[in-house]
Chain A
């Protein structure tokens, strides 16, 4: 393939006694859906947070378009067109869906007073949800009152609405019912077709093979295998995750 869009090399990160990432590598190409899989605690969320600027790595390199980047906070990543659906969703539960969609990027009027432009927020939020086929029973209700799946939809909509290059989705379908899950998977394809790279973390192997172009496998904080989805079976993925296969050696 061509030059990678986003690349991580030898990323390390420790939490107290836990070495969550031990020289993890990761590659994403422009306009693809790449799945990042691995067992619980393999370090997937940690790796995504470092690539999204939410967590600073102890060591290693992150490259965008082949150039090293230093992401000191999530805004750095957002400026580069990178958005994230965090596993914990990172929503402000006392605010409504539109407020969450625009959190930190609220349009304002009377420039120096910074009065919120609620009209614009409501309208553009409604458009964003419509586009994704998301219907909320009450747009003015605090997110706390939505179901787990509806909340997940809000988080997905926020990331997709702002991303121009890469969207990380950390288990975006975990709390979803059959219909919503299918909608999110369709959405992932649509986002990819718009030219935005989607990095999908999921424990659902059939789902991964259905939507991803490529699959990268993380085990104990390292990348152990890469696959092209089209010619890979669930058995191969499981074997890579659980230790039966290590393509990249213990270099």
Chain B
């Protein structure tokens, strides 16, 4: 080991590498390059307000799931249940709204339905947190269990067929509505990303989330209430899945029970493309936003280029692996030992 005398100049130049070292800058560069590529190839179709709004809307609900997933992955956990909890929460919200007036329900009924949906999500998150901390079941298994149970119960509640009679007001405002040309869905998702991004980056709660993912035993020894913190993190992921359930209900005006089986993997992929480590301790919400947009832009661009649908999954899967591969290379180059 060396006693490097740190002079002023080394600390100065230390700043530039710090920026280049950051994962977010590189993934942002990839996103911009991808965007530029499609914009050059198909300017008339790709680089239009209409299309960009489409990409953003399609990504909004996934982003809400991925923000919660970021916290979970930073603690070195995983939440496979997000898609099922989304469906379950959507079903509870829909049933409540139908009972309170269906398509003609007023804002009161809509609010109660939305609260019921978010409450269900929070409930599932708490269940996951308790299973992981108190019952000591590994997160992969605990959330795989709630994945099955939540989806099964959603089908039991609905008898297997989607609930369609969603309040028109909800669909028109939140589902399709625009504010100054920006869809409500996007505004809500961005607000959630900003609020929870700041929570993770700037607060003690965020710092403890990183500490637990880095070394849970060390966190315990300095007095961080690790179990309580993990329960909060899984509860947050559940709550955001509930929010996503309500947003999905508003956008598709139906519960879409069958179409969320791969949401969990999409959210995990987004978080990992965004630079988080599945070993915990590393990851940011800013990275996750980019991680949601890269596959989103890629899919959209390939469709516009006329690629066959099957190739989309191939491309997105390949991007995930390539992103993680380059991330590993950079990490290895950076580490001294």
Is A104 a contact partner of B224 (Cβ separation < 8 A)? yes
Interface 9-mer from B175-183, B184-192, B197-205:
B197-205
Q: Which residues of B contact A120 (CB under 8 A)?
A: none
- Hey, which bits of chain B sit against chain A, CB under 8 A? 1-6, 10, 14, 18, 202-208, 210-211, 213-215, 217-224, 280-282, 334-337
Question: Nearest A residue to B335 by beta-carbon distance?
Answer: A145
Residue from B1, B211, B336 within 8 A of A103 (CB atoms): B211
Residues 126-164 of A contacting B (Cβ, < 8 Å): 135-138, 140, 144-145, 147-150
Interchain nearest-CB distance for A129 vs B (Å): 10
Interchain residue pairs with CB less than 8 A apart (11): A74-B220, A89-B218, A91-B215, A105-B223, A114-B203, A115-B203, A116-B206, A136-B6, A137-B6, A175-B1, A180-B1
Q: Which residues of B contact A213 (CB under 8 A)?
A: none
Is B211 a contact partner of A135 (Cβ separation < 8 A)? no
CB-CB under 8 A for A92 and B1, given A74-B222, A145-B336 = no
A187 at interface (Cβ–Cβ under 8 A)? Answer: no
A88 to B215 CA separation, bound complex (whole angstroms): 11
Is A94 a contact partner of B204 (Cβ separation < 8 A)? no
Other than the given A74-B223, A140-B18, 14 more pairs (CB < 8 A) read A74-B220, A75-B223, A91-B218, A92-B211, A93-B215, A93-B281, A94-B214, A103-B224, A113-B203, A114-B204, A116-B204, A116-B206, A149-B1, A150-B1
A239 to B18 CA separation, bound complex (whole angstroms): 53
A249 at interface (Cβ–Cβ under 8 A)? Answer: no
Q: What does DSSP make chain A's interface, helix, strand, loop or mixed?
A: loop
Residues 61-102 of A contacting B (Cβ, < 8 Å): 73-75, 78, 84, 86, 88-95, 99
Is A135 a contact partner of B3 (Cβ separation < 8 A)? yes
A145 to B18 CA separation, bound complex (whole angstroms): 13
CB-CB under 8 A for A103 and B14, given A92-B214, A114-B205, A116-B203 = no
A135 to B6 CA separation, bound complex (whole angstroms): 7
A244 at interface (Cβ–Cβ under 8 A)? Answer: no
Q: Which residues of B contact A150 (CB under 8 A)?
A: 1
Interchain nearest-CB distance for A105 vs B (Å): 7
A135 to B2 CA separation, bound complex (whole angstroms): 9
CB-CB under 8 A for A104 and B223, given A138-B14, A149-B1 = yes
A242 at interface (Cβ–Cβ under 8 A)? Answer: no
Is A177 a contact partner of B1 (Cβ separation < 8 A)? yes
Query: How many inter-chain residue pairs (CB < 8 Å) link A and B?
Result: 101
Is A103 a contact partner of B204 (Cβ separation < 8 A)? no
Interface size bucket, A side?
Answer: 35 or more
Interchain nearest-CB distance for A147 vs B (Å): 5
Q: Which residues of B contact A144 (CB under 8 A)?
A: 335
A74 to B217 CA separation, bound complex (whole angstroms): 11
Interchain nearest-CB distance for A123 vs B (Å): 14
A54 to B217 CA separation, bound complex (whole angstroms): 10
Residue from B1, B219, B335 within 8 A of A176 (CB atoms): B1
A32 to B223 CA separation, bound complex (whole angstroms): 27
A176 to B3 CA separation, bound complex (whole angstroms): 11
A136 to B208 CA separation, bound complex (whole angstroms): 23
Q: Which residues of A contact B211 (CB under 8 A)?
A: 92, 95, 99, 103-104
Is A137 a contact partner of B222 (Cβ separation < 8 A)? no
Question: Nearest B residue to A179 by beta-carbon distance?
Answer: B3
Is A147 a contact partner of B203 (Cβ separation < 8 A)? no
A148 to B202 CA separation, bound complex (whole angstroms): 28
A75 to B222 CA separation, bound complex (whole angstroms): 7
CB-CB under 8 A for A94 and B213, given A75-B223, A103-B219 = yes
Q: Which residues of A contact B2 (CB under 8 A)?
A: 147
A39 at interface (Cβ–Cβ under 8 A)? Answer: no
Question: Nearest B residue to A134 by beta-carbon distance?
Answer: B3
A108 at interface (Cβ–Cβ under 8 A)? Answer: yes
Closest 9 CB pairs of A and B: A104-B222, A94-B281, A149-B1, A75-B223, A92-B214, A90-B218, A114-B204, A94-B214, A92-B211
Interchain nearest-CB distance for B9 vs A (Å): 13
